[in-house]
Amino acid sequence: MSFLVVGSVAYDGIETPFGSEDKILGGSATYISITAGFFGLKPRLVGIVGRDFAVTDVQLLKSHNVDLEGLQVDNSGDTFFWRGKYHYDLNNRDTLETSLNVFEHFNPEIPDSYKDSEFVCLGNIAPALQNRVLDQVTRPKLVVCDTMNFWIEGARADLMETLKRVDVLIINDSEARELSSEPNLVRAAEKIQKMGPEILIIKKGEHGALLFTGSGIFSAPAYPLVDIFDPTGAGDTFMGGFVGWLARTGDLRDENMRRAVIFGSVMASFCVEAFGSKRLISLENGDIEKRYTEFMELSTIPEIINL
Ligand code: AMP
């Protein structure tokens, strides 16, 4: 099924306790679309890059089946640049630099050939821009949205408008608490669902993720990885895997949503194994299924025999 993603395409400088990279391909739309490409889709990417965007990166995206008709190239400046530093607690990071460059004037224009997209992924960009995307698409089957503390604090009114129009919101635990002003995640979820999204996913980093639907709560484990090198993009990769699976199957029933959460977790677990998108782009046939099976075994709960 058709799959649209709107978000940042960036160069990242990353420092973790295990090494550093000066300028590697990143951005929310990049991670989401590369990941969705593994689900037999041709993700339609809408974003903006500058004059420094390398031909090799264009080729990399194309080689992962990403449709670039909606990628704007603005030769008046450089590509959005973000620099972050992680400490041993990889759940927390410091943003050291955000140079918006051509992203500052990004106005998402959805090409006519994308307007009928059935699955719409709104990556982490200003809620006003997310709204502009929704004004342009004609018949989405599912709209999935990401956001962050920066917008919850700085663009709350716009974000509330966006939330009324999305089906699924994917955020992390601290964002859920801040958005709802509620420390308990179950109560926070109830409040957020009343803001619009019928379905909510709360990511808890190395502790897994919670899926809230109309019919209950599903708790997905996190994969107990030994090698975690760089968490950058894990959230976006989760979104690519979650929506990628739903778009591949077209099945939005509860049980399939659970599968999709596991596929999101599977893809995020690969993402963190190397810097940037390196591990993701090296995935081979069978890797994804194998890890999905490991996830199943990880959380099988045997029945009780006698109590
Ligand atoms: P994640 O680790 O999933 O939160 O996403 C990391 C990606 O988000 C990096 O590749 C950055 O380029 C990108 N990013 C960081 N800050 C912003 C921002 N303010 N707007 C859009 N994208 C951003």
Q: How far apart are CA 200 and CA 47, in angstroms?
A: 25
Q: Which residues' Cβ are closer than 6 Å to ligand 1? A: 8, 10, 12, 26-28, 82, 98, 124-125, 232-236
Domains contained in the chain, CATH given: 3-299 (3.40.1190.20)
Residue-level pLDDT at 299: 86
Residue-level pLDDT at 205: 85
Residues 273-299 have pLDDT tens digits of 999 999 999 999 899 999 999 999 998
Residue-level pLDDT at 206: 83
Q: What spacing in Å lies between the alpha carbon of 283 and ligand 1's midpoint?
A: 22
The predicted model scores a pTM of 0.96
Give every residue of the chain whose pLDDT is below 50, as ranges: none
Residue-level pLDDT at 225: 81
Helix axes 234-249, 254-271, angle to 10 degrees: 140
Residue-level pLDDT at 155: 96
Residue-level pLDDT at 97: 95
CB atoms within 10 A of CB 185: 19
SS3 at position 175: helix
Residue-level pLDDT at 43: 98
Q: What spacing in Å lies between the alpha carbon of 100 and ligand 1's midpoint?
A: 11
Q: How far apart are CA 42 and CA 64, in angstroms?
A: 8
Residue-level pLDDT at 88: 85
